[in-house]
Amino acid sequence: MEMQWLQHGEPLPGLEARGPYADGVAVFVTTGDGRRKPELGYDADGRAASPRERELLAAALGLDGSRLVFMEQVHGGMATAVDESAAGAGVESRATAVRGADALVTACGELALVGLSADCPLVALWDSDGAVCAVAHAGWRSTTAGIVRQTVEAMVRLGARAERIRAALSPAIGPCCYEVQSDLVEAMTSAGAAREEDFLRREGRVYLDLGAAVKKQLIDSGVERERISGAFACTMCGVGQFHSYRRDGARAGRQAMGVRLRAGR
């Protein structure tokens, strides 16, 4: 697994970490230390909740905070390619984030693409040969809208080849906790976004393994199974490590997953 999981510059315990840029790419996810969790999201007014923690995150990747790029994340299926001109989008406020996007794709090594989540899986993707990377926000609505395929296709348009792409899934709400209702089951299965085996039935309730559905979409989009890795930690169970909307409701913060190509490529 050639990737780097960082907690403000420190490897995340329990996940395999190699040197930054081992594969021409750095991938990071933020996590709490058991007592407090960094808050990478926005406050109720749409301003960065903790500009300081965003700066720390950027510094861990050797970048200034103004080189981060955030997206609006509207639970849709749109992947947007960005270049230098997007630097700083969404850094100070959600109003300036890349409009309408649930995935960002770039060939620019001087940017770090950032996704925010409090339960939804985030996916970092990269083709170091093609020098293209991406981050996708793959909640159930975006997954149903085809965000994974849209992201891979946008990467291919920038020079990636699907069979060379590596993908890493962030921690997300797991099938231990993600109880869903029949309307979600119907929406995802009728769109071909989840299979019967992605739904687990226990004591009359239905639970979704969204990570498995996302993985299937990656494979269906041409990404090889052995090139997909991930942290299968559950955000709702990980009280001291992760933010969870299911657990904490409107007061939940956000963790971040980001990806950056090696600078100067």
CA dihedral sign of residues 35, 56, 42, 5: negative
Among 237, 246, 262, 263, binds Zn ion (CB under 5 A): 237
Is residue 15 a contact residue for Zn ion (CB under 5 A)?
no
Contact (CB, 8 A) for 40 and 255: yes
Complex with Zn ion: residue 177 or 185, whichever CB lies closer: 177
Q: How far is the CB of 238 from Zn ion (least distance, A)?
A: 8
Contacts with Zn ion by CB under 5 A: the residue count is 6
Positions in 205-234 near Zn ion (CB under 5 A): 234
Q: How far is the CB of 58 from Zn ion (least distance, A)?
A: 30
Among 59, 95, 176, 191, binds Zn ion (CB under 5 A): 176
> Which residues make Cβ contacts (< 8 Å) with residue 44, sequence separation at least 6?
none
Complex with Zn ion: residue 113 or 180, whichever CB lies closer: 180
Is residue 6 a contact residue for Zn ion (CB under 5 A)?
no
For residues 153 and 143, give the distance between their C-alpha atoms in angstroms, rounded to a whole number. 15
Is residue 107 a contact residue for Zn ion (CB under 5 A)?
no
Q: How far is the CB of 13 from Zn ion (least distance, A)?
A: 19
Complex with Zn ion: residue 110 or 248, whichever CB lies closer: 248
Is residue 174 a contact residue for Zn ion (CB under 5 A)?
yes
Of 93, 104, 6, 114, which Cα lies nearest the Cα of 43?
93
Cα end-to-end span (Å), the chain? 22
Of 14, 13, 83, 21, which Cα lies nearest the Cα of 4?
21
Is residue 185 a contact residue for Zn ion (CB under 5 A)?
no
Segment interacting with Zn ion, rule: CB under 5 A, options 56-64, 82-90, 187-195, 235-243:
235-243
For residues 116 and 67, give the distance between their C-alpha atoms in angstroms, rounded to a whole number. 16
Is residue 177 a contact residue for Zn ion (CB under 5 A)?
yes
Question: What is the number of H-type helices and E-type strands within the chain?
Answer: 6, 15
Q: H-type helices in the chain, by residue range?
A: 51-60, 140-144, 147-157, 182-190, 210-220, 245-248
Complex with Zn ion: residue 86 or 138, whichever CB lies closer: 138
Is residue 69 a contact residue for Zn ion (CB under 5 A)?
no
Residues that bind Zn ion (CB under 5 A): 174, 176-177, 234, 236-237
